[in-house]
Structure 1
C-alpha cells in the first residue's frame, strides 16, 4: 500500500534538503512505495528552488507550488488533492516532527483499524509561553468539540484517503481535522510522538495565532451543530431578547394608556426598544442563515449527510454469518396438520 507524505512549507529553504533526506531514510527502510509532496506556500526565500533541486535528486519528491501564501490549511489541502495514495501523512516542514515516527504510526493505523492517527507532542521543545497558550487553546477546543485529544496543533497525522474525502480545509481548520472527522464517524486515536527543537529558520506561529484558533473554535461549533439549523441558534437568542422587550413595552403601554403616566423619560423604554430590535435582527439573521444553508446544500449539490466509510461497512458485512437455510437443500417444508 503506497504512502503519500504531504509537507506544507513556507520560507523553509534550509530545511528542505534535511527533511527530504530524513523522510527518504525512514520510508526507504519501511519498504513501501511513497511520494513526498512538498507544498510551497508562496515562499520568498528560495524554498521554491530548493524543492526543485530536491525533485531532481530524489525521484519520490514532487513539488506543489502555490501562486501565493494561502496558509497552512490550504497548503495541506493542495497536497491532499495532489496525491492518490491510500495512506496520507501530514508533516511539518521544520523537522520538529521526526519522520522516523511515520512507519510505526502507519502500522498502528492499520493494525488497530483506525481512520486517523494523531501525534501528541507531550514533550514539546518550544518556549514556555507558547506551550502555555497552546495548552489553553487545546483545553478550550476539547471542551467545545467534545474531544479527548491533547494536541490539536501537531501536524504529524496519518490518514486513510477515504476519510480525507469527508471534509475540506481552509482558514485554520487543519487543527480541527480530528473534530471534523470525528463528527462524521471516523475512528481516531492519539499517540505520543517525538518533538525536536527547530534547527533552521524561525517559527511562523505567534501568540496572535492562538487567539485566532480560539475564534475558529466557535466556527467549528457552529458548523457541527447549527449549519443545517441556523434559525435554532439565532432565533433562540432572538426570542430571548424579543420576549422580555415585548413584556417591557406591554408594561410601559399599560402605564401610558391606563394610568396616564409619562414614559418618555424612563430608561426602561430604551431597554425594551433595544431588546425588541435585537430580537428582530437575530431572528432575521437566523432566517438568512437558513437560506444560505439551502444554497449550500441545494444549489451547491452538497449532501446534508455523510455515509459511513465503505471500508467499515465492508468489514461489518464480512463478519456477518452466512444466511443459510434451515435445511441444506432449501427451506424446511411446513409441518403437516
Structure 2
C-alpha cells in the first residue's frame, strides 16, 4: 500500500520554459533534505513556448512530477482549480513558476499547517521586487479586501505562495480572477484558522510578467462576486427581496402622498396639479416596477443554481 504523500505542490505556469528545470530541481532538493514525500503538479495554462517539452523532459527523470496541459490559456484560477482537483498530499502548497517564490519556504509552511493546525497559510512578500505599477494597486486591493472580508491579519491576499490543508482545496472552487481572494473563499467555506508567513520574494529571473492591467478591473469585479455569493449565494431572495420591498414601499408611499394631496385639494376646493403631471408620480411608478422586478429576480435566483456545471470544464490537451 502506497504511503500517503506529505505534500502536493501545485505550480500554474504560462510560457516559463527557462525557469522550470531550476524550479523542479530546487523543490526536489528542499523536499529531499527535509524528508518530505511530495508530488509536483505543473499545470500548463496553454503555453505557446517550449514549456510542455521541458516538462516532458523533466518527467523522464523525476517520478514525483505530474503535469497537465490546457489546449488554450484559461487563466491562473483555472490552472489552480485543476491542480487542486489533482492534489492528494496532506498539505497543498501553491507557488508561481517564475522563481520569484522560494521553495525554501516549503518546510516551514508545511510545519505550520501540520503542527500549528492552520487551515491556510498565506505568504506575505514584505519586501517586493516588482514595479510600482504593480505594487500600488496590490496594496489598494489588499486594503479593500481586508476591510470587506474581516481577515485583518493578512497583508498580501494575492501572494502565489500559500499552504492549505487538503480538505480546504477540495472544498472550494476557484474561477475567473478569484485566485486573488482564496483566503476569503476559504473563510466563506467555513475555514477560520487562516495565518500569514513572511516569505522571501526574488526578482524575476527570466522573461516578464504575464499579467496586464485588466487584472485589476477583473479582480475588483470578482471581489464583489465573492462577497455577494458568500453572503447571499444560498439565500438570494434575502438580497433581492429586501431591495425589492424597499423600492416597492418607497413607490407606494409616494403614490399615497400624491393621492392624499389631490383629495385634500378637492375637499378644500383649492387648485391642484393632476397626479400624472407631477414628476414624483413617475418616480413612484419606476420604484414600484423596479421593486416588482427585484422580487421576480429573487424568485428566479432561488430556483437557479449559482454554480454552472460547465464553469470549470476545461479542455485538457495532455496529461503525464
| Equivalent-residue separation in structure 2 for 1:206 and 1:171 (angstroms) | 15
**Tell me, which stretches of 5 or more residues in structure 2 are unaligned?**
267-271, 310-320
Match of 2:304, SS?
helix
1:138 equivalenced with 2:138 (yes/no)? no
| Equivalent-residue separation in structure 2 for 1:87 and 1:254 (angstroms) | 68
Offset of residue 255 of structure 1: 4.2
8 Å contact kept, 2:91–2:113: no
Offset of residue 252 of structure 1: 2.4
| Equivalent-residue separation in structure 1 for 2:186 and 2:243 (angstroms) | 29
**Tell me, which stretches of 5 or more residues in structure 1 are unaligned?**
300-337
1:237 equivalenced with 2:243 (yes/no)? yes
| Equivalent-residue separation in structure 2 for 1:93 and 1:238 (angstroms) | 48
Offset of residue 207 of structure 1: 2.7
1:22 equivalenced with 2:26 (yes/no)? yes
Instruction: Give the one of 161, 174, 187 matched to 2:166.
Output: 161
The normalised TM-score by structure 1 is: 0.83
| Structure of greater Rg | 1
Match of 2:18, SS?
helix
| Equivalent-residue separation in structure 1 for 2:290 and 2:19 (angstroms) | 53
1:185 equivalenced with 2:191 (yes/no)? yes
**Residues 273-323 of structure 1: per-residue CA shift (max 9 Å, x gap):** 111111111111111111225x87xx9xxxxxxxxxxxxxxxxxxxxxxxx
Greater RCO between the two (CA within 8 Å, min separation 6)? Answer: 2
Q: Aligned residue pairs: how many?
A: 297
Match of 1:13, SS?
coil
| Equivalent-residue separation in structure 2 for 1:39 and 1:117 (angstroms) | 21
8 Å contact kept, 1:119–1:191: yes
Instruction: Give the one of 282, 286, 297 matched to 1:274.
Output: 286
Partner of 2:269: none
Runs ≥4 residues deviating over 4 A: 255-258
Instruction: Give the one of 141, 158, 178 matched to 1:173.
Output: 178
| Equivalent-residue separation in structure 2 for 1:173 and 1:130 (angstroms) | 18
Partner of 1:214: 220
The normalised TM-score by structure 2 is: 0.87
Instruction: Give the one of 127, 149, 157 matched to 1:152.
Output: 157
CA RMSD of aligned residues (A): 2.0
1:37 equivalenced with 2:31 (yes/no)? no
Offset of residue 26 of structure 1: 1.7
8 Å contact kept, 1:15–1:93: yes
